[in-house]
Amino acid sequence: MTVFAVKNLFPLFSSSIEKTPKPLPRYKLQAGNHLVPSSQETLFSRRHFLICNGASLVAILTLNDGLIPPVARAEEKDLKDQEDERKNSIIGAVQSLFDPNEKTKSGKVLPKAYLKSAREVVKTLRESLKEDAKDITKFRRTADAAKESIREYLSNWKGQQEVVAEESYVVLEKAIRSLASFYSKAGPSASLPEEVKSSILDDLDKAEAFW
């Protein structure tokens, strides 16, 4: 009987195992016969939400990061260009101080010393020609200044190959010769006629226009 009982127990045990329902891993039954997510499922859902929203946030930040840098780079480039322009301006000014030459309005490069001397001739001779001869003191002072500037100009630049072919040199030499020619014929104390004075002033204006 014992053997029979044992034999009868095995089929019962086997069928009970097969009929035993497997536990639901992700849902549990609550009141009202509704299936609700288990704690594991809730945790998984939260992780999924965080990952999705995190990916969206990264995408938005990446998009913004792609839009903002060009503007920042443009502003940085403008500042750099301004700084470079300022530096170049300073460098150019320093180089100009030590450069013996100067670029004129006509685009030619001439010695600064020549231009300084020629401009002084134009300035002093013009003042002398426009001065009222009746005011002896002022007239003599301006005439002496013109004579000095002409003497210095001729002693340094007369016949110099680097300027002899320049338009300003040719015109200025013509003005000086006209003045010297008149006084050599009329005498040093003669009054300068208006037509001669006007011609010399025109030549001075022409010479100045080339600088």
> Which pLDDT score is estimated for 83?
77
For 189, left (φ over 0), alpha (ψ -120 to 50), or beta? alpha
Which two three-digit tokens encode residue 130?
Answer: 């426009």
**Alpha-carbon span 167 to 209, nearest angstrom:** 10
Mean pLDDT of all residues in the chain? 75
pLDDT in tens, 54-96: 555 545 445 455 555 566 666 777 777 777 777 666 765 565 5
Does the structure show a pLDDT above 60 at 16? no
Which position has the higher pLDDT, 157 or 56?
Answer: 157
Contact 163, 114 (CB under 8 A): yes
pLDDT in tens, 138-154: 989 999 999 999 999 99
Segment 28-48 mean pLDDT: 49
Contact 190, 183 (CB under 8 A): yes
pLDDT in tens, 182-198: 999 999 888 899 999 99
Q: Model-level pTM greater than 0.75?
A: no
Contact 129, 197 (CB under 8 A): yes
